[in-house]
Amino acid sequence: MSASEIMLNLNQKALSLLQEDADQIEKLIQIQMESLTNRRCPLYEEVLDTQMYGLSREIDFAVRAGLVVESAGKSILSELERKLAQLYEALASTRKE
């Protein structure tokens, strides 16, 4: 296996692991979206924020280690941030009702 093949393999593995973590956070967001009729849960929101922070640190590490290009990492994070913003917007609108 050549060095470029090893690097490509590492890149794919790193992206796969980051995406798995992002998928877990997305599931948490979806669960909260499905239960919007329930009371707001600050603890749940804290868990989501902590998970997002942890993922951002993982992405920073992968980028700094040269395992992932910065644009790919930012893409994963920005997609989750968009979904999280939708959740917070939905939570805010249910509080007004």
Local confidence band at 39 (pLDDT 50, 70, 90 cut-offs): low
User: Could you confirm whether domain 3-96 is CATH 1.10.287.750?
Assistant: yes
28: number of CA atoms within 13 Å, CB side? 21
Among 6, 19, 3, residue whose Cα is nearest residue 59:
19
Buried b (16+ CB within 10 A) or exposed e, 15-52: beebeebbeebeebbeebeeeeeeeeeeeeeeebeebb
Write down the pLDDT at residue 35: 77
Task: Name the average pLDDT for the chain.
Answer: 88
Q: Determine how many CB atoms are found less than 10 A away from the CB of residue 92.
A: 10
Domain ranges for the chain: 3-96
pLDDT in tens, 43-65: 777 888 999 999 999 999 999 99
Please determine, for residue 23, whether its predicted confidence score (pLDDT) is greater than 80: yes
